[in-house]
A and B are shown apart, each in its own frame.
Chain A
Amino acid sequence: MTELKNELIRHSAADLAAKLAAREVSAVEVTQAHLDRIADVDGQINAFLHVNTEEALAVAAEVDAARAAGGAAAEELHALAGVPIAVKDLIVTIGQPTTAGSKILEGWHSPYDATVIKKLRAAKMPILGKTNLDEFAMGSSTEHSAYGPTRNPWDLDRIPGGSGGGSAAAVAAFEAPLALGTDTGGSIRQPGAVTGTVGVKPTYGAVSRYGAIAMASSLDQIGPVSRTVLDSALLQEVIGGHDPFDSTSLTDPFDNLAAAARVGNVAGMKIGIIKELHGEGYQAGVENRFNESLQLLKDAGAEIVEVSCPNLKYALGAYYLIMPSEASSNLAKFDGVRYGLRALPQDGPMTIERVMGATRAAGFGDEVKRRIILGTYALSAGYYDAYYGSAQKVRTLIQRDFDAAFSNADVLISPTAPTTAFKLGEKANDPLAMYLNDVATIPANMAGIPGLSLPGGLADEDGLPVGVQLLAPARQDARLYRVGAVLESILEEKWGGPLLAQAPELKTPALGAASNSAGGSN
């Protein structure tokens, strides 16, 4: 690996965009540098399920050609044209397989592009490939992928969070400057927290869900994954906006996000600590870094207030009724009739019902089956009111709690996850412990409000990244970027550089080390 390449992969997307615009570097060089990095380190990380070499380089070459041609062709290029990106394998793409991390979709190619993919193509951002995830985004560790777990670049024995562990790890391991994730209960933010990266769940409806394979329709949201707050803002501006193919997408413009990330001050802003989302149950190192961030924001001129959202204690329980209920219906289409895996019953009559049953038995993993069964039960006649109905009421109460909290604060703040990255296998047999990891991220999905996680430093006891979560009222995503960018810059000043500069170097062939075979390869 040359020094130049090593530098290229460490740039933020904003810096790469500037270098590309100034023609200091070509899009093909930038893309190739990331493809090389993937080839070098992904055997250890297993962030990618598919690498899209040919197409990514072709798009990069188009960008270079347009820049070389100058004039209108160059002027029409999007600011991020030529900046490569990785895509969570829950989002459908023409020309690449989409598996959702499941055996049931192994080998399936989508005949259509997700709306966000169309937008990436329009912006001419080379798509590096598809990233690993917990099967159908169900999990908090990426261990539930049918294609093997992804490993945390900070410690290969630890989980990268989930479900979007692949996107977060790819960005943390400098395999991509940007990635797309999806967040139903924290699947963008919690991986961001445990890998020392930035992840944003936009306001529900701010980004079209068309082409994101649904887990829980009323909670799912596509969002950006990056190493800087500004980069996430830039990416949300690319992928956001109203989509006629998604009736739940908002018509509001979200074009002030990068500008908000560049405001540079929080003086006079009121930042609310959510009483119920820290303290007991949170790892000491997480709590310490969180308190440190509060002090830094206070020093920067923000007013820190405490708010209470008493109904958040019901959020996890309600979430585990609404999410599986919707998932049980959304995943009904995977039946072996029209696409994907078809398994036949081992014996007995060959009826359509039995083929569907055999396909779903063979194609779905345990966590997916667990949620389908839970959701099917919760929606059943006689139980609907007690379970799904009550959970929807809790949801309304949570929304009211947030409304009240936001009448006293511009943004709210909490740790993103109660712990740092745990070890692979540690919670594999304890679903409840796994679910508890999302206790602080789930409320934003339940209320439809935006949330951002950024690195808050390393926990004293294990030296692993801690995430700080910011929440804003619905449609006020800009506030997250404003406050997040300020906190990021104060913290980086304190650290003397980005947190990821402190991450251990991954072994690469260029450094003369044998490739770590753990995690398998694609």
Chain B
Amino acid sequence: MSVDATLSFEEAMEKYDPVLGFEVHVELNTKTKMFSSAPNVFGDEPNTNVNEVDLGMPGVLPVVNKTAVESSIKIGLALNCKIAEYCRFARKNYFYPDTPKNFQTSQYDEPIAYDGYLDIELEDGTVFRVEIERAHMEEDAGKLTHMGGSAGRIQGADYSLVDYNRSGVPLVEIVTKPIQGAGSRAPELAKAYVAAVREIVKNLGVSDAKMERGNVRCDANVSLRPHGQERFGIRSETKNVNSLRAVEHAVRYEIQRHAAVLDSGQPVIQETRHWHEDTRSTTSGRAKSDADDYRYFPEPDLVPVVASREWVEELRATLPEPPAERRKRLKEAWGYSDLEFRDVVNAGVMDSIEETIAAGASADVARKWWMGEIVGRAKVADVDPSALGVTPQVIVELNKLVEDGKINNKMATQVLDGVLAGEGTPAEIVEKRGLAVVSDDGPLLEAIDAALAAQPDVAEKIRSGKLQAIGAIVGGVMKATRGQADAGRVKELILEKLGVQA
């Protein structure tokens, strides 16, 4: 595949103004499918969670899943949308083997939720309002696996396997209005928007919201126009960008690619693009024009969905605390500074910290571990911090070992590495690695004597009340004990020895 030319992001921004748009598909975690009674379960043996409806057998009829409608209304309300009192499903007709009826039952011009917005907080605290055009209900397609040929693509494949377990899984598709004015913050906004949607549906409890499982999938539309131009440029639609970081990278890449195309005097081709995580670039998919003809018409096998105002208000009353309000509450409860809290949010560890506190750690201890140790390791490993494999229980256990004086902080970080290496629980690792604080004062006192003797001027300073100088002696002791001493105890013993009150 040929490599597309790109401009540097800075140069692209200098010349062009990006306009974004997102279609986020959210898989609902209902017990059964959108239109059938088959189980909605991820990861089972292929083609086991299907019945005649999901397979599009002759004679079958769909029946709307009421819980899915409720979940859709909840999502609409959380996105500040209006909820349609009356709306219908439509058939989107196209032949493709992942869609057993050769049409997808979706909503077309009558979405259940419309005209909403979401306020997105960027890393520096700037709030950017993204307008929501609609959120509509539809069914997922089956999963195709192309065998043979190159790189799992249908082109050139020998044959394809179909798993209809996903066929008919309820989806809510959230579509934004064109997002203008983001400028150079477009990639960051893209990531923050998808993160916010994911957070909302997870918070509502209507989706498992795991991007790696495809519970939340994002199609990112990007177009550029010269600064000052009103009319939108031609857009590309990058499909299935399935991690938050990928959303940011894909938008950035497409901006750079469009800029190069425009700079060369060529028109941008309206098409879908495939995102490749390995090369962090996109390749051309299929040409997509507004003239794609899906021959939509109202689904005659279903009656309209009627959402009475009473029902909508009942559902509104059940909505959990919105994530933004929750953040405000947690920040106050944890006593973090603005900067500390923003760092926590931006690092994506707020939920983890909340869970860690719930498991028994103090707010400061939880933050110290997540921000001080885990975020950095996640960055090195190139994964989300929550996906690194550190549970709240591990942190609580580590912290207890430190508080009980069994290990010191330095050893604790080694234990953490052991946990990540799969060596066992913190206690087991302490045992296995032979990490234990030297708690017998005898050897410590010897080391202290030696340290004080080696630095008599420092000892004098401490005696005269300059307590901050104690670090040099503690350092000497730690060095002598190869880090196995409890620094707190060493400090106490030095002061005792020198007869100074702390």
Contacts and interface: CB of A to CB of B under 8 A. Distances in A.
Interface of A: 91-92, 98, 100, 105, 108, 110-112, 114, 209-214, 216-218, 244-248, 325-326, 328-329, 332-335, 337-339, 352-353, 356, 376, 379-381, 384, 388
A381 B293 contact: yes
Contact of A329 (B59, B63, B297): B297
B102 A210 contact: no
8 contacts: A111-B57, A211-B60, A245-B63, A329-B91, A332-B93, A379-B297, A381-B293, A384-B297
A333 B61 contact: no
B300 A332 contact: no
Interface string B37-67: 0000000000000001001111111111000
A332 B102 contact: yes
Contacts of B293: 380-381
Given A244-B63, A333-B101, A92 B297 contact: no
A222 to B, nearest CB: 11
A339 B52 CA distance: 12
A388 B62 CA distance: 22
B369 interface: no
Contacts of B52: 110-112
A248 B61 CA distance: 10
Contacts of B268: none
Contact of B59 (A214, A244, A335, A352): A214
Given A353-B95, A380-B295, A332 B101 contact: yes
A247 B61 contact: yes
List 5 A-B pairs, minimum CB-CB distance, nearest first.
A332-B102, A217-B300, A379-B295, A218-B300, A211-B59
B61 A246 contact: yes
Contacts of A356: 95
A90 B102 CA distance: 20
A338 B56 contact: yes
Contacts of B56: 333, 338
B61 A209 contact: yes
B297 A388 contact: yes
Contacts of B63: 244-247
Contact of A212 (B59, B95, B103): B59
Given A111-B52, A245-B61, A326 B300 contact: yes
Contacts of A352: 97, 160
Contacts of B62: 247
A337 B97 contact: yes
A381 B297 CA distance: 10
Interface string B285-315: 0000001010111001111000000000000
Given A111-B52, A353-B95, A247 B102 contact: no
Contacts of A210: 59-61
Contact of A110 (B59, B64, B296, B297): B59
A110 B58 contact: yes
Q: Classify the interface of chain A: helix, strand, loop or mixed.
A: loop
Interface of B: 52, 55-64, 91, 93, 95, 97, 100-103, 160, 291, 293, 295-297, 300-303
Contacts of A379: 93, 295-297
A100 B100 contact: no
A376 B295 contact: yes
Contacts of A111: 52, 57
Contacts of A245: 61, 63
Contact of A332 (B59, B61, B64, B103): B103
Contacts of A105: 58
A239 to B, nearest CB: 15
B92 to A, nearest CB: 10
B303 A248 contact: yes
Given A326-B300, A337-B97, 9 more contacts: A245-B63, A247-B64, A329-B295, A333-B56, A333-B102, A379-B295, A380-B293, A380-B295, A384-B297
A247 B35 CA distance: 10
A246 to B, nearest CB: 5
Nearest to A375: B295
A220 to B, nearest CB: 9
A245 B62 CA distance: 7
Q: Which of A111, A213, A332 has the most CB of B within 10 A?
A: A332
A59 to B, nearest CB: 22
B168 to A, nearest CB: 14
B61 A110 contact: no
Contacts of A114: 59
Given A110-B58, A247-B61, A247-B64, A329 B103 contact: yes
A100 B63 CA distance: 24
Given A91-B59, A333-B56, A335-B102, A381 B295 contact: yes
A228 B302 CA distance: 34
Nearest to A392: B298
A269 to B, nearest CB: 32
Nearest to B295: A379
B100 A333 contact: yes
A420 to B, nearest CB: 33
Contact of B58 (A213, A216, A218, A329): A213
Nearest to B154: A352
A272 B60 CA distance: 38
A329 B91 CA distance: 8
B165 to A, nearest CB: 15
A92 B57 CA distance: 10
B301 A217 contact: yes
Contact of A247 (B95, B103, B301): B301
A8 to B, nearest CB: 33
Contacts of B303: 247-248
B301 A248 contact: yes
A84 to B, nearest CB: 23
Contact of B302 (A92, A211, A247, A384): A247
B68 to A, nearest CB: 14
Contacts of B296: 379, 384
Contacts of A248: 61, 300-303
A210 B160 CA distance: 31
Contacts of B93: 328-329, 332, 379
Nearest to B292: A381
A335 B95 contact: yes
A92 B91 contact: no
Q: Which of A111, A245, A246, A328 has the most CB of B within 10 A?
A: A245
Contacts of A332: 93, 95, 101-103
A138 to B, nearest CB: 15
Contacts of A334: 58
A100 B58 contact: yes
A111 B56 CA distance: 12
Contacts of A100: 58
Contacts of A217: 300-301
Nearest to A360: B95
Contacts of B103: 329, 332
Contacts of A108: 58
B59 to A, nearest CB: 4
B306 to A, nearest CB: 12
A92 B59 contact: yes
A318 to B, nearest CB: 14
Nearest to A216: B300
